């Protein structure tokens, strides 16, 4: 809304109004606004939830300090969602298909997570929303995202060009924002609708999902959506559930998500800028720069929520927040064609998920073979394993965040490490 207001004011040559045309300015503003909202709203939400006695019911698992958290307000994901959507509505081009898709993702997964938390808190059902219902919601979101990415006419890319003459300079040579008035360089090659994505650590680092249908005799990729959409569903479900599993210690999910979001913002910025995309030899995605503003708001929201959620937590995000964070991260990676980087970028989520899978498989195998189930870890997800080994919760969280930073740096490095 502010974007449209200042764009209108700029027509009258009002000083400073044109600053809203810069992606960098709007991204910085989004971080500050979301950070301010999450801290201010967070305090009010905590007081409200405490007054209504809407707290977490803790099952004793023998973890140090666990029972002290009983009654801590939950459903704090509402703070994250509000802190993201308000600056997005204020600062982005709302007719951008990528922004529309991200807003839908946030609201949809926020609704599913809220329903789960509501059942746990108000209906006193510790199981919450059934796993099938959660999965059904994630599948529906995957169908929507996959269909939009495959069929929508505005979802296009431009092939990278190695020849300088294939790019045209506009008047403002030194401006690097992809705004309407300040774009410096753009490719003469036509935008194309494509199912190509980025492969890490490979020189010619593009993979086309259409290749998966060649065995069918489909040389045009007409039926590639039969593979593309199921893969999108798998990615969204996997990352969303991975974030949900990570939300087990104070500040862990919020801290690691903030680190991941910073890396995504960088990837989105370079992918949406023709100069950087050409220099880094990656695909250029027109109109993707608006996503930087959205992700910047996510960074601010996560940091602001971390203010209240760090040890000892004054509020938990619940599934309202964790499912939403995971889904938003997954969809944003899909939009910028970097979904194959998720195992690296979301390495903390992946480790958490793998630890649970290993624990279940080992238990089932040993029970079937020896008649008594054994566990590979002291407890899963793996952050509880370290708790059982005597590590303090705050130390585990900080070290996981450091590991997350290493994964994020490695993800950025893949832009040139190939």
Residue 354 has, within 13 A of its CA and on its CB side, a CA count of 7
* pTM: predicted TM-score of the whole model, two decimal places: 0.91
Taking the C-alpha atoms of residue 305 and residue 303, their distance in angstroms, rounded to an integer, is 5
Q: What integer pLDDT is reported at residue 181 of this predicted model?
A: 44
Q: What integer pLDDT is reported at residue 179 of this predicted model?
A: 47
Q: What integer pLDDT is reported at residue 236 of this predicted model?
A: 97
Average pLDDT score over residue span 257-280 = 93
Q: What integer pLDDT is reported at residue 115 of this predicted model?
A: 95
The token pair at 385 is 């394993």
Q: What integer pLDDT is reported at residue 188 of this predicted model?
A: 56
pLDDT digit string, tens, across residues 366-400: 999 888 889 999 999 999 999 999 999 999 999 99
The token pair at 32 is 């500050």
Of the ranges 220-229, 235-244, 291-300, which one carries the lowest mean pLDDT score? 220-229
pLDDT digit string, tens, across residues 147-206: 999 999 999 998 655 444 444 443 333 344 544 444 444 445 677 888 899 888 887 778
Average pLDDT score over residue span 37-44 = 92
Reported as a pLDDT band with limits 50, 70 and 90, residue 49 is: confident
């Amino acid at each position: 809304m502010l974007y449209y207001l200042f764009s209108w004011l700029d027509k009258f040559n009002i000083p400073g109004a044109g600053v809203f045309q810069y992606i960098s300015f709007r991204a910085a503003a989004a971080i500050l606004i979301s950070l301010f909202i999450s801290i201010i709203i967070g305090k009010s939400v905590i007081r409200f939830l405490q007054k209504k006695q809407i707290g977490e019911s803790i099952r004793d698992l023998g973890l140090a300090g666990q029972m002290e958290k009983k009654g801590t307000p939950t459903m704090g994901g509402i703070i994250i969602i509000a802190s993201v959507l308000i600056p997005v509505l204020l600062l982005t081009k709302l007719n951008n298909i990528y922004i529309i898709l991200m807003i839908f993702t946030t609201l949809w997964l926020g609704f599913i997570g809220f329903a789960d938390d509501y059942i746990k808190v108000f209906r006193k059902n510790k199981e919450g929303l059934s796993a099938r219902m959660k999965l059904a919601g994630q599948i529906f979101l995957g169908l929507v995202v996959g269909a939009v990415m495959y069929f929508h006419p505005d979802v296009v890319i431009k092939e990278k060009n190695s020849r300088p003459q294939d790019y045209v300079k506009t008047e403002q040579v030194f401006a690097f924002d992809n705004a309407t008035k300040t774009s410096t360089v753009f490719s003469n090659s036509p935008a194309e609708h494509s199912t190509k994505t980025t492969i890490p650590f490979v020189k010619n680092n593009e993979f086309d999902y259409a290749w998966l249908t060649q065995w069918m005799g489909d040389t045009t990729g007409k039926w590639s959506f039969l593979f593309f959409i199921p893969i999108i569903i798998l990615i969204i479900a996997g990352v969303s559930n991975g974030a949900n599993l990570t939300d087990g210690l104070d500040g862990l999910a919020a801290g690691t998500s903030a680190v991941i979001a910073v890396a995504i913002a960088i990837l989105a910025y370079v992918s949406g800028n023709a100069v950087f995309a050409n220099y880094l030899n990656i695909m250029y995605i027109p109109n993707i720069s608006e996503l930087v503003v959205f992700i910047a708001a996510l960074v601010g929201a996560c940091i602001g929520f971390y203010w209240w959620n760090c040890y000892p937590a004054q509020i938990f995000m619940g599934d309202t927040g964790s499912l939403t964070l995971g889904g938003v991260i997954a969809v944003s990676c899909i939009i910028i064609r970097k979904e194959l980087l998720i195992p690296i970028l979301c390495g903390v989520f992946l480790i958490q998920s793998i630890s649970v899978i290993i624990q279940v498989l080992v238990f089932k195998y040993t029970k079937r073979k020896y008649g008594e189930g054994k566990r590979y870890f002291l407890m899963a997800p793996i952050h509880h394993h370290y708790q059982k080994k005597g590590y303090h919760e705050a130390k585990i969280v900080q070290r996981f965040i450091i590991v997350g930073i290493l994964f994020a740096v490695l993800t950025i490095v893949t832009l040139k490490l190939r």
